[in-house]
Amino acid sequence: MSSSLFQTLTISRQDILSRLMDLDVISNNLSNVNTAGYKSSRSNFQEVLNQQMIAGSLLKNTQLMPAQGSLVDSTNPLDWAVQGDGFFSVTLPDGATGYTRDGQFVLDASNQLVTASGYPLIWDGTIAEGMTAINISPEGNVTAVDETGATVEVGVVQLTRFPNPSGVASFGNNIWLESVSSGAAQTGSAGAENFGVISGYRVEQSNVDLSQEMTRMIVLQRSFSMSIKAFQQTDLMISQAINLRKA
């Protein structure tokens, strides 16, 4: 029996598995189309060579697409959006530092600025109880009105950028982590060279292109169907060859 039949079966099987993993990536993008600050991902495939023959393709990794999401106005003084390069830094439950573009912060019971998932924002400042009219400048300077009615500066929010933002690793909950591919995190002042600015009373929307993701899903479904058919036909040919040898 020709070994090419088993090679075709292996390639079809590998292609089916790769399409399923790619479907997970697209589904995750679609489910976060309305998530503030979310950055879409794409699948990167690598051709697999087995000695002198092609052995299909593997999903090598997923890559963050860091394109700017559109900004929409908000009435919440703690809705801050990064315009340009940079992430907000937050403290994760294990003490590590995570990075997010979701600037929809809230004050917890301890008057800490936290994300919707409860991760505290890393910044140089505090907001005392009873303060109102919180505002942030494009450079990250945070002011508020105290109980006496005076406007006071309460702290500074810095941004963190990466040499290769596409290489950050996903932590979940719209949080990203430093990785070997992203390069070392670089923290600096908003508005400085290579850093974006911060807009108060604004929310960065997801950068997922709904029409593009739906088109990708349709193409993926057709490719998956073709891989299934190739697998089934090859399996049938192998079965017929085995039966002929038995006869």
Question: Could you give the C-alpha distances from 188 to 158, 160, 218, in angstroms and in order?
Answer: 6, 6, 42
Whole-prediction pTM: 0.84
Q: Percent of the chain at pLDDT above 90? A: 70
Do 176 and 170 touch, CB atoms closer than 8 A?
A: yes
pLDDT in tens, 53-93: 555 667 777 889 999 999 999 999 999 999 999 999 999 99
Tell me the helices (H) and strands (E) count for the chain, helix number first: 2, 18
Q: For CA atoms 201, 68, 99, 159, give the dihedral sign.
A: negative
pLDDT in tens, 189-228: 999 999 999 999 999 999 999 999 999 999 988 888 888 8
Task: Report pLDDT for 54.
Answer: 57
Report phi then psi at 102, rounded to 5.
-80, 105
pLDDT in tens, 234-245: 778 878 777 777
DSSP labels for 132-148? Answer: EEEEE-TT-EEEEE-TT
